[in-house]
């Protein structure tokens, strides 16, 4: 069954007695990943035949959902929540929607932090210091000025600020 695609397995009904290596190969996973998913409860325990794990098509369906969730950035804990963190009978659209909204908010926060990192990188790119200690002194001085500004105004100089930040003059 080496390299056989999921759709072919399903089309020919060859999914009633799959070895762990077959399942792993379908999804490009290591067998240890399949065993780990079983251990943490994302996959149900397989039936055994002559002491070997054997799987049916339901594990392929479950892994397809796991793979999609991983592709969209869900953690294993979030994937476990997708399967088990809702009252019985909760339909998939409601599950996906609730978890997706939370993930989108998380991504927006990451984007904000990445933009802040980009802004800082652009600032240090224009460094004119002669030594790293001088950079440290100026960074610390700017941090103190930002803190004083925050205390006075209640706002930190933020991302997208219309004024270009410059190193403080000595």
CATH class of this structure's domain 6-85: mainly alpha
Half-sphere exposure of 126 (CA within 13 A, CB side): 9
* Sign of the torsion formed by the C-alpha atoms of 143, 146, 150 and 156: negative
pLDDT of residue 15: 63
Per-residue pLDDT tens digits for 90-101 = 999 999 999 999
How far is CA 90 from each of CA 58, 96, 152, rounded to the nearest angstrom?
A: 19, 10, 50
Question: What residues are paired with 47 via a beta bridge?
Answer: 54
3-state helix, strand, coil in the chain (%, to 5): 60, 5, 35
Q: Supply the mean pLDDT for the chain.
A: 85
List the chain domain ranges.
6-85
Question: What residues are paired with 49 via a beta bridge?
Answer: 52
Neighbour order of strands in the sheet with 52-55: 18-19, 52-55, 47-49
Model confidence at 150: pLDDT above 80: yes
Confidence of residue 162 (pLDDT cuts 50, 70, 90): very low
Rounded-to-integer distance, Cα 92 and Cα 82, Å:
8
Confidence of residue 154 (pLDDT cuts 50, 70, 90): confident
Per-residue pLDDT tens digits for 9-61 = 555 455 678 999 999 999 999 999 999 999 999 999 999 999 999 999 899 99
Residue of higher predicted confidence among 111 and 139 = 111
Tell me what the mean pLDDT of segment 132-138 comes to.
Answer: 92
Rounded-to-integer distance, Cα 38 and Cα 46, Å:
8
pLDDT of residue 39: 95
Confidence of residue 164 (pLDDT cuts 50, 70, 90): very low
Residue 86 DSSP one-character state = S
């Amino acid at each position: 069954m080496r390299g056989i695609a999921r759709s072919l397995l399903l089309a020919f009904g060859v999914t009633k007695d799959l070895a762990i290596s077959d399942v792993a190969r379908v999804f490009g996973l290591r067998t240890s990943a399949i065993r780990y998913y079983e251990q943490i409860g994302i996959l149900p325990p397989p039936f055994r035949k002559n002491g070997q794990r054997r799987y049916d098509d339901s594990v392929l369906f479950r892994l397809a959902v796991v793979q999609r969730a991983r592709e969209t950035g869900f953690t294993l804990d979030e994937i476990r929540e997708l399967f088990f963190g809702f009252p019985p009978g909760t339909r998939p659209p409601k599950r996906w929607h609730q978890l997706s909204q939370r993930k989108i908010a998380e991504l927006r926060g990451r984007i904000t932090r990445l933009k802040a990192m980009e802004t800082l990188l652009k600032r240090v790119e224009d460094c004119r210091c002669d030594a790293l200690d001088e950079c440290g002194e100026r960074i610390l001085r700017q941090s103190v000025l930002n803190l004083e500004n925050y205390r006075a105004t209640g706002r930190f100089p933020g991302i997208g600020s219309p004024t270009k930040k410059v190193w403080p003059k000595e």
